[in-house]
Amino acid sequence: MIGRKHEGGRDEKEISVVIPAYNEAEGIIATLDEIGARLASITDRYEIIVVDDGSTDGMWEQLAQYEGANVHGYRLSRNFGKEAALCAGLEHARGQAVIIMDADMQHPPAMLEQMVAIWREGKADIVECTKRMRGTEPLRNRLGSELFYSLLSKLTGYNLKGASDYKLLDRRVLLAWQSMGERNVFFRGMTQWMGFSKVQLEFDVMERKTGVSRWGFYNLIKLAVGAIIAFSSLPLRLVSLAGIGFLIGALVLGGQTLLRKMTGDAVTGFTTVILLQLIIGCIIMVSLGIIGEYLAAIYKEIKGRPRYLISRELKARDD
């Protein structure tokens, strides 16, 4: 692959860094200082885009007072969720390469230089950083993540074990991503689905320097359900298979009952009937729940509402 050349005026950015953030007032300034210093040593044509996902801790006011250059800010009208905030940043990025990072500094900024070097050399369209060690994540979240990615891999065929949002995307990858207009967004799965040439770099999740993680077990379950619905129809097929299985079981049991009736060996079996009713009832309710999730996703897509709404914007001081 031929190395990439980047010649352009000051308005043309080589690198954009997108940072979705929620209630990170305590550490956002230190994060911007660290990332800004790293980027300045790589290129003088960069921008940092911070998307405030409806924070309530004064983070937007911190951004408004920030003295650093090349920092754009967008405040969403409410808390739409990380995936929506990430979309807002990607849709406003101007760089020839776009890097996504978390605001809590658990994505090591020291890797930025290596990521950009790989991209500049033309070795890959996507440079993705995968987690080697997950840090001090609670055991419940760790086990939940392992189960989720294992299940997603089996349902979709995409191996996302250790995946993170810490990625570099070439401009043409970004444009391809922007053409995908779905409302139910799972960024890691979407970048995997698109293909393009990739290089993986491993990293150890860093300790948070300030604050505490707000990514709880409920958020993980919500993400898992959304991701599976967005990338696999296999659960619907499982409902059909369960129906076929119970049909076969009903035919066998019905045949056995008729045979006993004809031979005069019929016995009353209220326990069996009750158990069968409970099992069938549970299967029906679970099946309706699965179908309901898919219908809700379809309803969300059909409404066509925007992924997010921006209420305020901060221009970079050098613009």
Tens-place pLDDT, residues 218-231: 666 666 666 677 66
- The whole-number pLDDT of residue 215 equals 58
Q: For 271-284, what is each residue's pLDDT tens digit?
A: 566 666 767 777 77
Q: For 48-61, what is each residue's pLDDT tens digit?
A: 999 998 888 888 98
Q: Considering only residues 173 and 12, tell me which one the structure prediction assigns the higher pLDDT.
A: 173
- pLDDT of 98 strictly over 90: yes
- The whole-number pLDDT of residue 194 equals 84
How confident is residue 118, by pLDDT bands cut at 50, 70 and 90?
very high
- pLDDT of 315 strictly over 60: yes
Residue the block writes with tokens 């080697």: 132
Least trusted range by pLDDT, from 68-82, 84-98, 167-181, 233-247: 233-247
- Mean pLDDT for the stretch of residues 79-96: 89
Dihedral class, residue 88 (left if φ above 0, else alpha if ψ from -120 to 50, else beta): alpha
Q: What angle do CA 25, 30, 32 make, to 5 degrees?
A: 90
Distance CA(147)–CA(278), nearest Å, equals 28
The two tokens of residue 60 are: 């937007």
Alpha helices in the chain (DSSP H): 28-40, 59-64, 82-92, 112-120, 139-156, 171-178, 187-194, 217-231, 234-262, 270-303
Dihedral class, residue 54 (left if φ above 0, else alpha if ψ from -120 to 50, else beta): left
- pLDDT of 1 strictly over 50: no
Distance CA(290)–CA(283), nearest Å, equals 11
- pLDDT of 216 strictly over 60: no
Residue the block writes with tokens 């401009």: 171
Q: For 280-309, what is each residue's pLDDT tens digit?
A: 777 777 777 777 777 777 777 777 778 889
Q: For 5-15, what is each residue's pLDDT tens digit?
A: 554 544 678 89
Collapse the DSSP code of 152 into the 3-class scheme (helix H, G, I; strand E, B; otherwise coil) and give the result.
Answer: helix
Mean pLDDT of the chain: 78
DSSP 8-class letter at 57: S
Residue the block writes with tokens 């004064």: 58
Nearest to 25 by CA among 87, 88, 79, 104: 104
Give the pTM: 0.72
Q: What percent of the chain has pLDDT over 70?
A: 69
Least trusted range by pLDDT, from 29-43, 102-116, 126-140: 126-140
- The whole-number pLDDT of residue 50 equals 93
Asked if 151 and 234 count as a contact pair (C-beta separation under 8 A), the reply is: no
The angle, 0 to 180 degrees and rounded to 10, between the axes of the packed helices 217-231 and 139-156 is: 0
Burial class of 196 by CB neighbour count within 10 A (0 to 12, 13 to 18, 19+): middle
- The whole-number pLDDT of residue 159 equals 67
Distance CA(319)–CA(317), nearest Å, equals 6
- pLDDT of 312 strictly over 50: yes
